[in-house]
Amino acid sequence: MKKDFITVNDFTAVEILETFRLAQTVKQKLKDREDYHPFAGQSLAMIFSKPSARTRISFETGFFRLGGHALFLGPNDIAMGKREATKDIARVVSRYNDMIMARLFNHEHILELAEYATVPVVNALTDFNHPCQIMADMLTILEHRGNLDNLKITYVGDGNNVVNSWLNLAKLLPFHFVCACPEGFEPDADLVATAQNTDLSTIEISNDPKAAVRDADVVYTDVWASMGQKEETEKRIKLFQDFQVNDELMAATGRETYFMHCLPAERGRETTDSVMESKMSIVFDQAENRMHAQNAIMLKLAGLA
């Protein structure tokens, strides 16, 4: 039976941890330049409604380095849900390729794509969630801490698709997650309630960033205005000014705390140069691990690990 990765909840907790171990193994194989090409003779269709440098580079390079061929399809090639029905695109692209990766605006489109595709579908981002990013993030935390025990992550900024994916992961793995955001920018309320009702993780929503970061192992942020929200930038700068992750906020944790950002960063807005370049910044390890986490996800979907 075909398996997709649309949210992190498509994997069990055991499969999530297996994926982290697999990612570390494959990462080492690539660094050692081993002759390891499990995707030899296979092709990956990459459908992009939303452009992204990191997503394209990490998927295309990762699939190529594992022996396969990745095909980029931009909005001029496939206009998801516009020029052609999504269910038709799903069935046609499946006939040519072994796997589909899609980075889209509308979450309903990724659900329809997965429903009608006959090959595994990987969600590389929608406006609702960003599961590959969170897998790379937790892999990075695991590498730096050595374990995920008694982990507190404080996200500071807009309660966006990244936060939604953290909430989904909190239903599978136990950790303390706090989202500190201005009033009116909280994450999806139903998802917050579901994560809280799971009784596995501690979930908090706060409008006080300094209180929220206290004792945090990780402080995480993202841009204040995502793609499709740029017309709100000036309004958001005023509303979010107290939520900048700067030296003062990092000091408010009261401990040595890792800093993470899913990139691209708008330095001087949601965070500062000094924090980005600090010894506790693991931003670029996090960016590298996008490729390794995604490789592991695709290997598991393909039944090759």
- pLDDT tens for 111-122 read 999 999 999 999
**Catalytic residue among 132, 179, 181, 262, which?**
262
Q: What is the pLDDT of residue 275?
A: 98
For residue 228, pLDDT beyond 80? no
pTM: 0.96
What is the per-residue pLDDT for 111?
A: 98
- pLDDT computed for residue 9 by the predictor: 97
- Interval 118-129 mean pLDDT: 97
Topology of the domain comprising 133-286: Rossmann fold (3.40.50)
Task: Please report where in the chains the tokens 């309320």 appear, as a residue.
Answer: 189
Q: For residues 226-242, give the mean pLDDT.
A: 81
**Contact, 45 vs 96, CB < 8 A?**
yes
Confidence band of 305 (pLDDT split at 50, 70, 90) = confident
In 3-state terms, what secondary structure has residue 64? Answer: helix
Find all residues with CB under 8 Å of 277, minimum gap 6, and list them: none
pLDDT above 80: residue 72? yes
User: What is the pLDDT at residue 229?
Assistant: 62
Alpha-carbon distances, residue 277 vs 33, 163, 170, 272, 273 (angstroms): 29, 24, 29, 9, 6
CATH 3.20.20.70 fits 8-130+291-301, yes or no: no
Known catalytic residue: 262? yes
Q: Residue ranges of the domains in the chain? A: 8-130+291-301, 133-286
Q: Amino acid identity, residue 153?
A: I
Band (pLDDT 50/70/90 cuts) for residue 110 is very high
Confidence tier at 82 by pLDDT (50, 70, 90): confident
Q: Give per-residue pLDDT as tens, 150-182.
A: 999 999 999 999 999 999 999 999 999 999 999
